[in-house]
């Protein structure tokens, strides 16, 4: 009886692992509507990409990202952790190339600066992961130069502004709080119809800084949506100090009257833990529409 029970557990475990390996490649496009624009504004469609963690051999992921060029979006925003290999910049640019005809904004995550290392998955229950002192440096400056040469704007600890479909958008971005690179940029804050905040890791201090700066919509990534979730329960960890209720999707920060917050569950995983369970890899098209309170 015991042997039979152990055998059943082993089979169930193997089946779960097999599915988690498959699910990590089940790329999904989410669609979300955000009522954040002033009365009379035309809708704006933003493609939010995050956490590709790309390695050169991930052809299915590259092809899927390229296919998103068929979406009629007005702006592309990537919230970092693009790389998982020192040679991943050329294939990443191959994935993004069809999208770079659209205006774009980007910030970096820790895995744009430093390569991933093997970790004990149970360590995430003890708190956010730490940067290893022997972490391999990634070609972040090459990536930055190529993205900006393609026309996308670098908003790591920076401000910019743009006009989309007649709406004036003020943008404030932060470099990655997960490794202490975030610093709210100084400078002029021009009048705008919408203020957009962008950051990789949605630490509370970063969200508070962006909200205090006037952000009405904040885009972030980093959490992988929990990556391995329990059906009916959800994520157990966020790898930052954000609560699990906001681990992915649309919510508000810090409360119902605050800024809209969209956290992407991202498209990748560490190459040392290439699994997802009850948490498909994703990109999102956010359709911004007019608010109902004007």
Token look-up 């592309």 returns 76
Residue with tokens 């002192």: 133
126 pLDDT band, cuts 50/70/90, is: confident
Helices (H), the chain: 2-23, 59-67, 89-96, 110-113, 140-149, 204-212
Of the given ranges (137-141, 182-186, 187-191, 212-216), which has the lowest mean pLDDT? 187-191
- Residue carrying structure tokens 């002029």: 188
How do the domains of the chain map onto residue ranges? 2-290
What sign results for the dihedral spanned by CA atoms 271, 274, 219, 169?
positive
Q: Which of 1-10, 63-72, 169-178, 183-192 has the lowest mean pLDDT?
A: 1-10
Coil vs helix vs strand at 245: helix
Reduce the DSSP state of residue 144 to 3 states and report it.
helix
User: Above 50 in pLDDT, residue 10?
Assistant: no
pLDDT value at residue 153: 98
Average pLDDT of 69-94? Answer: 98
Contact 214, 184 (CB under 8 A): no
Question: What one-character-per-residue DSSP string does 73-85 give?
Answer: -SEEEE-S--BSS
Reduced to 3 states (helix: H, G, I; strand: E, B; else coil), residue 241 is coil
- CATH class of the domain defined by 2-290: alpha beta
The rounded distance, in Å, linking the Cα atoms of 97 and 114 is 23
Specify the higher pLDDT residue, 14 or 202: 202
User: Is the pLDDT reported for residue 293 higher than 70?
Assistant: no
Note the pLDDT tens digit of each residue in 14-31.
Answer: 456 577 899 999 999 999
Residue with tokens 């991930």: 58
Torsion, Cα 11 224 130 134, to 10 degrees, reads 80
**How many Å apart are CA 170 and CA 157, to the nearest integer?**
14
Distances from the Cα of 170 to the Cα of 91, 95, 163, 200, angstroms: 31, 27, 9, 18
pLDDT at 80: 98
**In degrees to the nearest 10, what's the CA dihedral of 166, 167, 168, 172?**
-140
What's the N-to-C CA distance of the chain in angstroms? 67
Contact 52, 238 (CB under 8 A): no
Cα distances from 60 to residues 33, 56, 57, 230, 268, in angstroms, run: 28, 11, 9, 26, 12
């Amino acid at each position: 009886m015991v042997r039979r029970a152990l055998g059943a557990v082993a089979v169930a475990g193997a089946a779960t692992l097999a599915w988690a390996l498959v699910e990590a490649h089940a790329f999904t496009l989410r669609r979300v509507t955000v009522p954040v624009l002033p009365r009379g504004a035309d809708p704006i469609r933003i493609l939010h990409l995050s956490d590709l963690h790309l390695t050169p051999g991930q052809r299915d992921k590259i092809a899927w990202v390229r296919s998103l060029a068929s979406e009629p979006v007005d702006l592309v925003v990537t919230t970092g952790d693009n790389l998982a290999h020192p040679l991943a910049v050329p294939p990443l640019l191959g994935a993004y190339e069809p999208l770079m005809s659209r205006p774009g904004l980007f910030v970096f995550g820790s895995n744009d600066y430093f390569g991933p290392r093997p970790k004990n998955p149970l360590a995430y229950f003890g708190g956010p992961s730490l940067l290893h002192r022997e972490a391999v440096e990634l070609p972040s400056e090459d990536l930055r130069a190529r993205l900006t040469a393609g026309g996308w704007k670098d908003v790591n600890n920076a401000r910019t502004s743009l006009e989309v479909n007649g709406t004036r958008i003020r943008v404030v971005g932060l470099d990655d709080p997960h490794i202490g690179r975030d610093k709210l940029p100084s400078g002029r804050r021009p009048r705008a119809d919408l203020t957009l905040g962008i950051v990789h890791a949605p630490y509370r201090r970063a969200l508070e800084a962006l909200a205090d700066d006037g952000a009405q919509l904040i885009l972030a990534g980093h959490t992988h949506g929990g990556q391995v979730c329990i059906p009916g329960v959800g994520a157990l960890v966020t790898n930052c100090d954000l609560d699990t209720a906001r681990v992915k999707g649309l919510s508000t920060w810090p409360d119902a009257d605050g800024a809209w917050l969209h956290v992407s569950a991202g498209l990748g995983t560490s190459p040392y833990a290439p699994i997802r369970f009850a948490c498909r890899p994703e990109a999102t098209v956010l359709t911004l529409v007019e608010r109902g309170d004007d």
